[in-house]
Structure 1
Amino acid sequence: MTRIPVADRRTALVQAALRVVARDGVAAATTRRIVSEAGMPLASFHYVFDSRDELMAELVEAAVAGEQRDLAPALAGDARDIGMRDAIRAGLQHYFDGVRADPGREKAMMELTQWALREPGFEPLARRQYARYHEVAAQAARDAARLTGCEWLRPVDEVARILVSFTDGLTLGWLVTRDDAAAAASMDVAADALAALATPTPTAHPRPISRSSAHTPEAGAR
Protein backbone atom coordinates (compact mmCIF):
# COMPACT_ATOMS: atom_id res chain seq x y z
CA MET A 1 0.00 0.00 0.00
CA THR A 2 1.32 3.44 -0.93
CA ARG A 3 2.26 5.50 2.10
CA ILE A 4 0.50 8.89 2.06
CA PRO A 5 2.61 11.81 3.39
CA VAL A 6 1.28 13.38 6.60
CA ALA A 7 0.71 16.75 4.93
CA ASP A 8 -1.40 15.12 2.23
CA ARG A 9 -3.43 13.25 4.84
CA ARG A 10 -4.10 16.48 6.71
CA THR A 11 -5.23 18.20 3.53
CA ALA A 12 -7.49 15.30 2.57
CA LEU A 13 -9.09 15.20 6.03
CA VAL A 14 -9.64 18.97 6.09
CA GLN A 15 -11.29 18.86 2.67
CA ALA A 16 -13.43 15.91 3.75
CA ALA A 17 -14.50 17.81 6.88
CA LEU A 18 -15.41 20.81 4.73
CA ARG A 19 -17.66 18.66 2.58
CA VAL A 20 -19.34 17.02 5.57
CA VAL A 21 -19.97 20.36 7.30
CA ALA A 22 -21.34 21.94 4.11
CA ARG A 23 -23.65 19.00 3.44
CA ASP A 24 -24.71 17.88 6.92
CA GLY A 25 -23.62 20.53 9.44
CA VAL A 26 -20.93 20.68 12.10
CA ALA A 27 -22.75 18.34 14.48
CA ALA A 28 -22.52 15.59 11.87
CA ALA A 29 -18.79 16.11 11.35
CA THR A 30 -17.63 13.36 13.71
CA THR A 31 -14.20 11.87 13.29
CA ARG A 32 -15.78 8.68 11.90
CA ARG A 33 -17.83 10.59 9.34
CA ILE A 34 -14.80 12.62 8.29
CA VAL A 35 -12.49 9.65 7.76
CA SER A 36 -15.27 7.82 5.93
CA GLU A 37 -15.69 10.83 3.63
CA ALA A 38 -11.92 10.89 3.06
CA GLY A 39 -11.78 7.14 2.42
CA MET A 40 -9.29 6.60 5.25
CA PRO A 41 -9.20 4.38 8.35
CA LEU A 42 -9.92 6.00 11.71
CA ALA A 43 -6.29 5.53 12.73
CA SER A 44 -5.28 7.99 10.02
CA PHE A 45 -7.16 10.78 11.77
CA HIS A 46 -5.44 10.27 15.12
CA TYR A 47 -2.09 9.98 13.38
CA VAL A 48 -2.25 13.53 12.02
CA PHE A 49 -4.64 15.38 14.41
CA ASP A 50 -4.69 15.39 18.19
CA SER A 51 -8.41 16.13 18.27
CA ARG A 52 -11.45 17.10 16.22
CA ASP A 53 -11.08 20.62 17.60
CA GLU A 54 -7.60 20.87 16.06
CA LEU A 55 -9.04 19.82 12.71
CA MET A 56 -11.83 22.41 12.97
CA ALA A 57 -9.28 25.15 13.63
CA GLU A 58 -7.29 24.07 10.58
CA LEU A 59 -10.50 23.94 8.57
CA VAL A 60 -11.06 27.63 9.32
CA GLU A 61 -7.52 28.49 8.25
CA ALA A 62 -7.83 26.51 5.01
CA ALA A 63 -11.19 28.03 4.07
CA VAL A 64 -10.03 31.57 4.86
CA ALA A 65 -6.94 31.00 2.71
CA GLY A 66 -9.26 30.14 -0.16
CA GLU A 67 -11.24 33.31 0.42
CA GLN A 68 -7.99 35.28 0.54
CA ARG A 69 -7.25 34.18 -2.99
CA ASP A 70 -10.78 35.17 -4.02
CA LEU A 71 -10.60 38.63 -2.43
CA ALA A 72 -7.15 39.55 -3.74
CA PRO A 73 -7.39 42.34 -6.32
CA ALA A 74 -7.71 40.85 -9.79
CA LEU A 75 -5.10 43.32 -11.00
CA ALA A 76 -1.38 43.43 -11.48
CA GLY A 77 1.16 46.19 -11.94
CA ASP A 78 0.01 49.81 -12.17
CA ALA A 79 -3.79 50.15 -12.08
CA ARG A 80 -3.95 53.93 -11.90
CA ASP A 81 -5.57 54.15 -15.32
CA ILE A 82 -8.72 52.41 -14.08
CA GLY A 83 -8.93 54.05 -10.65
CA MET A 84 -9.99 52.87 -7.21
CA ARG A 85 -13.66 52.30 -8.03
CA ASP A 86 -12.93 49.87 -10.85
CA ALA A 87 -10.16 48.19 -8.85
CA ILE A 88 -12.60 47.53 -6.00
CA ARG A 89 -15.25 46.30 -8.40
CA ALA A 90 -12.77 43.92 -10.03
CA GLY A 91 -11.71 42.59 -6.64
CA LEU A 92 -15.31 42.05 -5.57
CA GLN A 93 -16.07 40.22 -8.80
CA HIS A 94 -13.02 38.02 -8.24
CA TYR A 95 -14.33 37.23 -4.74
CA PHE A 96 -17.86 36.54 -6.00
CA ASP A 97 -16.58 34.23 -8.71
CA GLY A 98 -14.96 32.19 -5.94
CA VAL A 99 -18.24 32.05 -4.02
CA ARG A 100 -20.09 30.84 -7.12
CA ALA A 101 -17.40 28.27 -7.87
CA ASP A 102 -17.49 26.74 -4.38
CA PRO A 103 -20.75 27.52 -2.53
CA GLY A 104 -20.19 24.50 -0.29
CA ARG A 105 -17.16 26.17 1.26
CA GLU A 106 -19.21 29.27 2.05
CA LYS A 107 -22.04 27.26 3.59
CA ALA A 108 -19.54 25.35 5.68
CA MET A 109 -17.91 28.53 6.99
CA MET A 110 -21.25 30.05 7.96
CA GLU A 111 -22.27 26.82 9.64
CA LEU A 112 -18.97 26.69 11.51
CA THR A 113 -19.37 30.28 12.72
CA GLN A 114 -22.85 29.65 14.11
CA TRP A 115 -21.77 26.41 15.74
CA ALA A 116 -18.77 28.05 17.42
CA LEU A 117 -20.97 30.86 18.79
CA ARG A 118 -23.46 28.36 20.24
CA GLU A 119 -21.00 25.83 21.59
CA PRO A 120 -19.55 26.73 25.04
CA GLY A 121 -15.82 27.25 24.86
CA PHE A 122 -15.63 27.58 21.08
CA GLU A 123 -16.30 31.31 20.76
CA PRO A 124 -12.56 31.95 20.22
CA LEU A 125 -12.76 29.92 17.01
CA ALA A 126 -15.43 32.27 15.62
CA ARG A 127 -13.39 35.29 16.72
CA ARG A 128 -10.29 33.83 15.06
CA GLN A 129 -12.26 33.24 11.89
CA TYR A 130 -13.33 36.88 11.69
CA ALA A 131 -9.92 38.15 12.72
CA ARG A 132 -8.54 36.32 9.70
CA TYR A 133 -11.29 37.76 7.47
CA HIS A 134 -10.35 41.26 8.64
CA GLU A 135 -6.65 40.59 8.03
CA VAL A 136 -7.38 39.43 4.49
CA ALA A 137 -9.65 42.41 3.79
CA ALA A 138 -7.12 44.88 5.20
CA GLN A 139 -4.42 43.48 2.93
CA ALA A 140 -6.78 43.71 -0.06
CA ALA A 141 -7.47 47.36 0.83
CA ARG A 142 -3.76 48.13 1.08
CA ASP A 143 -3.11 46.39 -2.24
CA ALA A 144 -5.89 48.32 -3.96
CA ALA A 145 -4.49 51.61 -2.65
CA ARG A 146 -0.98 50.73 -3.79
CA LEU A 147 -2.09 49.60 -7.24
CA THR A 148 -4.21 52.67 -7.91
CA GLY A 149 -1.96 55.31 -6.35
CA CYS A 150 -4.59 56.22 -3.75
CA GLU A 151 -4.83 56.49 0.00
CA TRP A 152 -7.73 55.71 2.30
CA LEU A 153 -9.50 58.56 4.09
CA ARG A 154 -10.44 56.22 6.94
CA PRO A 155 -8.18 53.78 8.85
CA VAL A 156 -7.51 50.64 6.83
CA ASP A 157 -8.88 48.44 9.63
CA GLU A 158 -12.19 50.31 9.42
CA VAL A 159 -12.30 49.90 5.64
CA ALA A 160 -11.60 46.18 6.14
CA ARG A 161 -14.53 45.78 8.57
CA ILE A 162 -16.86 47.48 6.08
CA LEU A 163 -15.61 45.19 3.31
CA VAL A 164 -16.12 42.05 5.42
CA SER A 165 -19.64 43.17 6.39
CA PHE A 166 -20.47 43.67 2.74
CA THR A 167 -19.03 40.36 1.54
CA ASP A 168 -20.91 38.55 4.34
CA GLY A 169 -24.19 40.02 3.12
CA LEU A 170 -23.36 39.42 -0.53
CA THR A 171 -22.48 35.79 0.15
CA LEU A 172 -25.52 34.96 2.26
CA GLY A 173 -27.89 36.74 -0.11
CA TRP A 174 -26.55 34.87 -3.12
CA LEU A 175 -26.57 31.49 -1.34
CA VAL A 176 -30.28 32.00 -0.64
CA THR A 177 -31.39 33.47 -3.99
CA ARG A 178 -28.65 32.44 -6.49
CA ASP A 179 -29.46 35.75 -8.21
CA ASP A 180 -26.32 36.80 -10.12
CA ALA A 181 -27.85 40.03 -11.41
CA ALA A 182 -28.81 41.20 -7.91
CA ALA A 183 -25.31 40.36 -6.69
CA ALA A 184 -23.77 42.38 -9.53
CA ALA A 185 -25.95 45.40 -8.71
CA SER A 186 -24.95 45.16 -5.04
CA MET A 187 -21.27 45.01 -5.97
CA ASP A 188 -21.67 48.12 -8.14
CA VAL A 189 -23.12 50.06 -5.20
CA ALA A 190 -20.47 48.75 -2.81
CA ALA A 191 -17.66 49.72 -5.19
CA ASP A 192 -19.07 53.26 -5.45
CA ALA A 193 -19.38 53.57 -1.67
CA LEU A 194 -15.93 52.20 -0.86
CA ALA A 195 -14.23 54.25 -3.57
CA ALA A 196 -15.66 57.38 -1.93
CA LEU A 197 -13.48 56.54 1.09
CA ALA A 198 -10.27 56.92 -0.95
CA THR A 199 -8.48 59.77 -2.65
CA PRO A 200 -5.48 59.99 -5.02
CA THR A 201 -2.21 60.27 -3.16
CA PRO A 202 -0.60 63.70 -3.57
CA THR A 203 2.76 63.68 -5.31
CA ALA A 204 5.79 64.28 -3.14
CA HIS A 205 6.68 67.39 -5.18
CA PRO A 206 3.51 68.99 -6.60
CA ARG A 207 5.08 71.02 -9.41
CA PRO A 208 5.17 70.76 -13.22
CA ILE A 209 7.20 67.77 -14.39
CA SER A 210 10.41 68.83 -16.06
CA ARG A 211 11.64 67.25 -19.30
CA SER A 212 14.33 65.33 -17.38
CA SER A 213 11.79 63.75 -15.01
CA ALA A 214 8.98 63.19 -17.49
CA HIS A 215 9.50 59.43 -17.47
CA THR A 216 10.07 59.00 -13.74
CA PRO A 217 7.22 56.98 -12.17
CA GLU A 218 5.48 58.44 -9.17
CA ALA A 219 5.76 56.55 -5.91
CA GLY A 220 2.62 54.56 -5.12
CA ALA A 221 0.87 54.68 -1.79
CA ARG A 222 1.54 51.89 0.67
Structure 2
Amino acid sequence: MARIGADLRRQDFVKAAINVIAEHGVANATTRRIAAAANAPLASLHYVFHTKDDLFYAVYESLFNLPQQALELVEAGSTPAETVTRMLRQTIDWFIENPAMARAQSELFLWTMRNNPEMTNRIYSVGISVTENSMSLAIGKKIDKTTVNDISRLVVQLFDGLILSWFAHGDPERLEEETETACRALSLFVSSIEDKTAL
Protein backbone atom coordinates (compact mmCIF):
# COMPACT_ATOMS: atom_id res chain seq x y z
CA MET A 1 0.00 0.00 0.00
CA ALA A 2 1.43 3.39 -1.03
CA ARG A 3 2.13 5.91 1.69
CA ILE A 4 0.49 9.32 1.46
CA GLY A 5 2.71 12.35 2.03
CA ALA A 6 2.10 14.65 5.00
CA ASP A 7 1.09 17.61 2.79
CA LEU A 8 -1.47 15.56 0.88
CA ARG A 9 -2.75 13.99 4.08
CA ARG A 10 -3.03 17.49 5.59
CA GLN A 11 -5.25 18.57 2.68
CA ASP A 12 -7.38 15.45 3.13
CA PHE A 13 -7.92 16.24 6.81
CA VAL A 14 -8.79 19.87 6.08
CA LYS A 15 -11.36 18.82 3.45
CA ALA A 16 -12.79 16.21 5.82
CA ALA A 17 -12.99 18.75 8.66
CA ILE A 18 -14.86 21.17 6.38
CA ASN A 19 -17.42 18.53 5.44
CA VAL A 20 -17.85 17.26 9.01
CA ILE A 21 -18.26 20.78 10.43
CA ALA A 22 -20.74 21.70 7.68
CA GLU A 23 -22.79 18.56 8.31
CA HIS A 24 -22.53 18.08 12.08
CA GLY A 25 -21.38 21.45 13.50
CA VAL A 26 -18.14 22.23 15.27
CA ALA A 27 -19.18 20.71 18.60
CA ASN A 28 -19.67 17.33 16.90
CA ALA A 29 -16.58 17.57 14.71
CA THR A 30 -14.55 15.08 16.70
CA THR A 31 -11.10 14.08 15.53
CA ARG A 32 -12.36 10.49 15.24
CA ARG A 33 -15.20 11.58 12.94
CA ILE A 34 -12.85 13.76 10.86
CA ALA A 35 -10.30 10.95 10.50
CA ALA A 36 -13.08 8.58 9.39
CA ALA A 37 -14.30 11.14 6.83
CA ALA A 38 -10.74 11.40 5.51
CA ASN A 39 -10.53 7.59 5.38
CA ALA A 40 -7.41 7.75 7.53
CA PRO A 41 -6.27 6.41 10.89
CA LEU A 42 -6.89 8.67 13.87
CA ALA A 43 -3.18 8.49 14.72
CA SER A 44 -2.38 10.07 11.33
CA LEU A 45 -4.59 13.03 12.09
CA HIS A 46 -2.87 13.57 15.43
CA TYR A 47 0.52 13.24 13.74
CA VAL A 48 -0.30 15.91 11.13
CA PHE A 49 -2.22 18.21 13.50
CA HIS A 50 -0.98 18.20 17.08
CA THR A 51 -4.17 19.82 18.37
CA LYS A 52 -7.72 20.23 17.18
CA ASP A 53 -7.20 24.00 17.16
CA ASP A 54 -4.31 23.49 14.69
CA LEU A 55 -6.69 21.63 12.40
CA PHE A 56 -9.38 24.29 12.75
CA TYR A 57 -6.88 27.05 11.98
CA ALA A 58 -5.80 25.11 8.87
CA VAL A 59 -9.42 25.25 7.65
CA TYR A 60 -9.11 29.04 7.69
CA GLU A 61 -5.65 28.98 6.13
CA SER A 62 -7.24 27.29 3.13
CA LEU A 63 -9.37 30.44 2.66
CA PHE A 64 -6.66 33.06 3.00
CA ASN A 65 -5.76 33.01 -0.70
CA LEU A 66 -9.34 33.69 -1.86
CA PRO A 67 -8.96 37.49 -2.16
CA GLN A 68 -5.94 37.11 -4.43
CA GLN A 69 -7.66 34.41 -6.49
CA ALA A 70 -10.68 36.67 -6.93
CA LEU A 71 -8.50 39.57 -8.07
CA GLU A 72 -6.73 37.38 -10.62
CA LEU A 73 -10.06 37.19 -12.48
CA VAL A 74 -10.36 40.98 -12.80
CA GLU A 75 -9.66 42.28 -16.29
CA ALA A 76 -6.56 44.40 -16.82
CA GLY A 77 -7.33 48.10 -16.99
CA SER A 78 -10.32 47.89 -14.63
CA THR A 79 -11.03 50.92 -12.48
CA PRO A 80 -10.63 50.58 -8.70
CA ALA A 81 -14.43 50.45 -8.34
CA GLU A 82 -14.67 47.64 -10.92
CA THR A 83 -11.78 45.80 -9.29
CA VAL A 84 -13.22 45.95 -5.79
CA THR A 85 -16.75 44.95 -6.78
CA ARG A 86 -15.42 42.11 -8.92
CA MET A 87 -13.44 40.84 -5.94
CA LEU A 88 -16.53 40.78 -3.73
CA ARG A 89 -18.66 39.18 -6.45
CA GLN A 90 -16.06 36.49 -7.26
CA THR A 91 -15.63 35.59 -3.59
CA ILE A 92 -19.39 35.24 -3.06
CA ASP A 93 -19.64 33.15 -6.26
CA TRP A 94 -16.90 30.85 -4.94
CA PHE A 95 -18.81 30.29 -1.72
CA ILE A 96 -22.06 29.63 -3.60
CA GLU A 97 -20.18 26.91 -5.49
CA ASN A 98 -18.69 25.62 -2.21
CA PRO A 99 -21.54 25.79 0.32
CA ALA A 100 -19.91 23.34 2.74
CA MET A 101 -16.91 25.65 2.99
CA ALA A 102 -19.13 28.66 3.59
CA ARG A 103 -21.05 26.90 6.35
CA ALA A 104 -17.92 25.44 7.94
CA GLN A 105 -16.19 28.83 7.94
CA SER A 106 -19.12 30.58 9.63
CA GLU A 107 -19.76 27.81 12.16
CA LEU A 108 -16.09 27.59 13.01
CA PHE A 109 -15.75 31.34 13.42
CA LEU A 110 -18.72 31.54 15.80
CA TRP A 111 -17.39 28.54 17.74
CA THR A 112 -13.93 30.05 18.12
CA MET A 113 -15.46 33.34 19.29
CA ARG A 114 -16.95 31.47 22.24
CA ASN A 115 -14.19 28.96 22.86
CA ASN A 116 -10.91 30.49 21.68
CA PRO A 117 -11.11 34.30 21.33
CA GLU A 118 -7.37 34.54 20.74
CA MET A 119 -7.66 32.29 17.67
CA THR A 120 -10.66 34.31 16.46
CA ASN A 121 -8.62 37.48 16.65
CA ARG A 122 -5.72 35.85 14.77
CA ILE A 123 -8.02 34.50 12.05
CA TYR A 124 -9.74 37.84 11.53
CA SER A 125 -6.48 39.79 11.62
CA VAL A 126 -4.89 37.53 9.00
CA GLY A 127 -8.03 37.66 6.85
CA ILE A 128 -8.05 41.47 6.94
CA SER A 129 -4.30 41.63 6.28
CA VAL A 130 -4.50 39.29 3.28
CA THR A 131 -7.39 41.29 1.84
CA GLU A 132 -5.55 44.58 2.36
CA ASN A 133 -2.39 43.22 0.71
CA SER A 134 -4.31 41.89 -2.28
CA MET A 135 -6.28 45.11 -2.63
CA SER A 136 -3.12 47.21 -2.31
CA LEU A 137 -1.52 45.31 -5.19
CA ALA A 138 -4.64 45.77 -7.30
CA ILE A 139 -5.57 49.42 -6.67
CA GLY A 140 -2.77 50.83 -4.49
CA LYS A 141 -1.29 52.89 -7.32
CA LYS A 142 -4.54 54.82 -7.71
CA ILE A 143 -5.71 55.17 -4.09
CA ASP A 144 -3.72 55.89 -0.92
CA LYS A 145 -2.87 53.06 1.51
CA THR A 146 -5.13 54.21 4.36
CA THR A 147 -8.14 54.37 2.03
CA VAL A 148 -7.25 51.01 0.46
CA ASN A 149 -7.26 49.52 3.96
CA ASP A 150 -10.64 51.12 4.71
CA ILE A 151 -12.05 49.70 1.46
CA SER A 152 -10.63 46.27 2.28
CA ARG A 153 -12.31 46.21 5.67
CA LEU A 154 -15.60 47.29 4.11
CA VAL A 155 -15.35 44.45 1.57
CA VAL A 156 -14.77 41.94 4.40
CA GLN A 157 -17.73 43.34 6.36
CA LEU A 158 -20.02 43.21 3.33
CA PHE A 159 -18.90 39.66 2.62
CA ASP A 160 -19.56 38.56 6.22
CA GLY A 161 -23.03 40.14 6.15
CA LEU A 162 -23.93 38.58 2.81
CA ILE A 163 -22.87 35.09 3.92
CA LEU A 164 -24.80 35.41 7.18
CA SER A 165 -27.88 36.56 5.26
CA TRP A 166 -27.55 33.57 2.92
CA PHE A 167 -27.55 31.17 5.86
CA ALA A 168 -30.70 32.82 7.16
CA HIS A 169 -32.69 32.57 3.91
CA GLY A 170 -30.83 29.75 2.09
CA ASP A 171 -31.57 31.07 -1.41
CA PRO A 172 -28.53 31.40 -3.75
CA GLU A 173 -30.49 33.55 -6.23
CA ARG A 174 -31.44 35.97 -3.49
CA LEU A 175 -27.80 36.02 -2.35
CA GLU A 176 -26.76 36.98 -5.89
CA GLU A 177 -29.31 39.83 -5.89
CA GLU A 178 -28.10 41.01 -2.48
CA THR A 179 -24.51 40.81 -3.71
CA GLU A 180 -25.35 43.02 -6.68
CA THR A 181 -26.92 45.58 -4.33
CA ALA A 182 -23.79 45.51 -2.15
CA CYS A 183 -21.60 45.85 -5.25
CA ARG A 184 -23.53 48.90 -6.46
CA ALA A 185 -23.12 50.58 -3.07
CA LEU A 186 -19.44 49.62 -2.94
CA SER A 187 -18.88 50.90 -6.47
CA LEU A 188 -20.45 54.28 -5.62
CA PHE A 189 -18.25 54.56 -2.53
CA VAL A 190 -15.00 53.69 -4.33
CA SER A 191 -15.91 55.88 -7.34
CA SER A 192 -16.45 58.86 -5.03
CA ILE A 193 -12.96 58.29 -3.60
CA GLU A 194 -11.51 58.04 -7.12
CA ASP A 195 -13.21 61.33 -8.04
CA LYS A 196 -11.69 63.08 -5.00
CA THR A 197 -8.26 61.61 -5.81
CA ALA A 198 -8.50 62.87 -9.39
CA LEU A 199 -9.10 66.46 -8.22
Please state which band the TM-score falls in when normalised by the shorter chain.
Answer: 0.7 to 0.9
Asked if the contact 2:70/2:86 (under 8 Å) is kept, the reply is no
- For 2:26 and 2:69, the matched residues in 1 are separated by 24
Counterpart amino acid of residue 110 in structure 1: S
Aligned residues between the structures: 194
Q: 1:83 aligns with which of 79, 83, 106?
A: 79
Report the residue type matching 1:142 in the other structure: S
Counterpart for residue 135 of structure 2: 141
Residue deviations 1:200-222 (CA, integer Å, cap 9, x gap): 867xxxxxxxxxxxxxxxxxxxx
Shift, 1:69, TM fit: 4.2
Where is the helix percentage greater, Structure 1 or Structure 2? 2
3-state SS of 2:2 partner: coil
Higher relative contact order (CA 8 A, sep 6+): 2
- Structure 2 gaps of 5+ residues are none
Cα distance between partner residues in 2 of 1:182 and 1:166: 10
Structure 1 unpaired stretches of 5+: 203-222
SS of residue in 2 equivalent to 1:27: coil
Cα 1:124/1:163, change in 2 over 3 Å: same
Q: CA deviation at 1:5?
A: 0.7
Partner of 1:156: 148
Runs of 4+ more than 6 Å apart: none
- Please give the TM-score of this superposition, normalised by the length of structure 1: 0.78
Query: How high is the TM-score relative to the length of structure 2?
Result: 0.86
Could you tell me how far 1:126 is from its partner in structure 2? 0.7
1:166 aligns with 2:165: no
| Superposed counterparts of 1:210-221, under 5 Å | none
Following the alignment from structure 1 to structure 2, what is the Cα–Cα distance between the partners of residues 74 and 201?
A: 25
The 1:101/1:88 distance shift into structure 2, 3 A limit, reads same
Residue in structure 2 matching 1:197, options 175, 193, 197: 193
Cα pair distance change 1:73/1:2, threshold 3 Å:
closer
Confirm or deny: 8 A CA contact 1:73 1:87 kept in the other structure: no
- Residues 167 and 37 of structure 1: CA distance in aligned 2, closer, same or farther (over 3 Å): same
Indicate the structure (1 or 2) with the bigger Cα radius of gyration.
1
Distance in 1 separating the partners of 2:23 and 2:63: 15
1:153/1:135 CA distance change after superposition, 3 Å = closer
